[in-house]
Amino acid sequence: MQINDAIKKGTGKDVAIRGWVWRERGSNKLRFITVRDSTNVIQCVVVKDEVSPEVWETAQKTPIETSLKVTGTLREDKRAPTGFEIGVKAIEIVGESDTYPITKDQSPEFLLDKRHLWIRSRKLTAVMKVRSTVTGAIHEFFRSRGYYEFTPPIFTPNACEGGSTLFEVKYFNEKIYLTQSWQLYAEAAIFALEKIYDVSPTFRAEKSKTSRHLTEFWMAEMEAAWMDLKEVTEVAKEEIRFIIRKVLEKNEAELRFLGQDVEKLKLVAEKDFPTITYTEALKILKEKSKMDVEWGKDLRTVEEDKLMEHFDTPVVVVEYPKEVMAFYKPADPKDPKTALCFDMIAPEGYGEIIGGSQRDTDLKALMDGLKKEGEPIENYDWYLDLRRYGSVPHSGYGLGVERVVSWLCKLDNIKDAIPFPRTMLRKSP
């Protein structure tokens, strides 16, 4: 049985658990072997005088990460983190362990080299549980609202977010790219399914060494026919609140273990998230942070962080300057200098968690935009067809799964939000 099930049985009950040695110490009369499994850790106490010589001997050969089966009696122990320990009757070693290379106080780089082992740590186990809740919540959120899951191709001839971060792959005797976003294909699929979403791998050749950028990450995107910018920002806000509530419901223990302020997060989940315009954001930066940003420049990380010092929930920023936005973000007819687009920025320095927009339906504007980005129009002919055959207004966005996990788990670096991180400087194990 798993450790948490054993604990549920209660004091005095016989239990049989299996797992891995997490810590061990002892004397010539007593051995304390703390065992971990996916659910918890529990201290197992072996008393020389109370077990057979064979069991005592086995209990001496349990270095860290040995896998084993333990049977014994559950009893209360006020000092134990779980409040319980096991008085051992028998131990069976399943897999011996060499001297485990990970000890206390090792450098982040060493832990990344040993990632295949470090993912067993309590920290990464907690993060991976939260991550599983986050992606599960995304599926639940959209499915329960009548969206279909739609999966995009990963090999693609097109850039969606500009050529400079495309990964080129040899495709027989030609070249192709790894997807930067499902969006262009989603825009094709809404003509069949109307409301769709996905959670899938995404690739960006980011020459960036920040704590927010991965080269391989998971994006959860949605696209919906007939939807405008205002409506789509409301979906994004609701989705984030839904995710937080699910994580609080399922992972409160993990959040506390990771040092997250659970009470604060509960408040965030119940609050309305404000929407401000880019122009208002510049005004806040100027007035409250004494920071001058020239109108027309995209917000950089430093500016996002400064802006968020004045908010305790995520904020939606709309209407960025059209000039610096991707080709598919349409000019606002009421103010053509700005685009009908938005970013959602997380508080506490976690930056942009969502990017999205209404989509341009004007064929000529799209072609001009692609030309301006230096894209070969012929590769996009299929996409432009979507504006030729019964086009409709539509909108969508992409949520960075690791950005959200980093924020909810209060991580220092986005690398810990994904089991095997890929960055400019890290591609193994």
- Which is closer to Mg ion, CB of 152 or CB of 355? 355
Residue pair 219/181 in contact by the 8 Å Cβ criterion: yes
Cβ burial, residue 402 (10 Å; 0-12/13-18/19+): buried
Distance CA 24, CA 29 (A): 14
Q: Which of 36, 398, 406, 416 binds ligand 4AD (CB under 6 A)?
A: 398
Residue 356 binding ligand 4AD, by CB under 6 A: yes
- Which is closer to ligand 4AD, CB of 76 or CB of 228? 228
Q: Which of 31, 129, 195, 213 binds ligand 4AD (CB under 6 A)?
A: 213
Binding to ligand 4AD in span 3-22, by CB under 6 A: none
Helix (H, G, I), strand (E, B) or coil at 210: coil
Q: Which of 50, 77, 113, 206 binds ligand 4AD (CB under 6 A)?
A: 206
| Residues lying near Mg ion in the complex (CB under 5 A) | 355
Residue 400 interacts with which of ligand 4AD, Mg ion, none, CB < 5 to 8 Å by class: ligand 4AD
Residue 354 interacts with which of ligand 4AD, Mg ion, none, CB < 5 to 8 Å by class: ligand 4AD
Q: How far is the CB of 9 from ligand 4AD (least distance, A)?
A: 43
Nearest to 324 by CA among 396, 372, 384: 372
Residue 352 binding ligand 4AD, by CB under 6 A: yes
Helix (H, G, I), strand (E, B) or coil at 40: coil
Residue 220 binding ligand 4AD, by CB under 6 A: no
Number of residues lying near ligand 4AD (CB under 6 A): 22
- Which is closer to Mg ion, CB of 34 or CB of 357? 357
Tokens of 317: 């920023």
Considering only 138-146, 190-198, 215-223, 267-275, which stretch makes contact with ligand 4AD by CB under 6 A?
215-223
Considering only 13-21, 214-222, 270-278, 302-310, which stretch makes contact with ligand 4AD by CB under 6 A?
214-222
Residue pair 326/380 in contact by the 8 Å Cβ criterion: no
Q: Which of 400, 405, 411, 415 binds ligand 4AD (CB under 6 A)?
A: 400
Binding to ligand 4AD in span 144-163, by CB under 6 A: 160-161
Q: How far is the CB of 217 from Mg ion (least distance, A)?
A: 12
Quick one: CA dihedral 271, 276, 281, 286, positive or negative? negative
Binding to ligand 4AD in span 171-190, by CB under 6 A: 181, 183
Residue 415 binding ligand 4AD, by CB under 6 A: no
Task: Quote the DSSP letter at residue 67.
Answer: E
Q: Which pairs count as long-range contacts for 60-64, CB under 8 Å and 24+ apart, including other chains?
A: 60/31, 61/93, 61/96, 62/21, 62/24, 62/31, 62/33, 62/91, 62/93, 63/21, 63/24, 63/97, 63/98, 63/99, 63/100, 64/21, 64/22, 64/23, 64/24, 64/97, 64/100
How far CA 373 is from CA of 160, 336, 367, 396, 398, in Å, comes to 11, 19, 10, 21, 21
- Which is closer to ligand 4AD, CB of 219 or CB of 235? 219
Torsion angle in degrees (nearest 10) through CA of 174, 178, 181, 182? 70
Q: Which residues bind ligand 4AD (CB under 6 A)?
A: 160-161, 181, 183, 204, 206, 213-214, 217, 219, 221, 352-356, 396-398, 400, 402-403
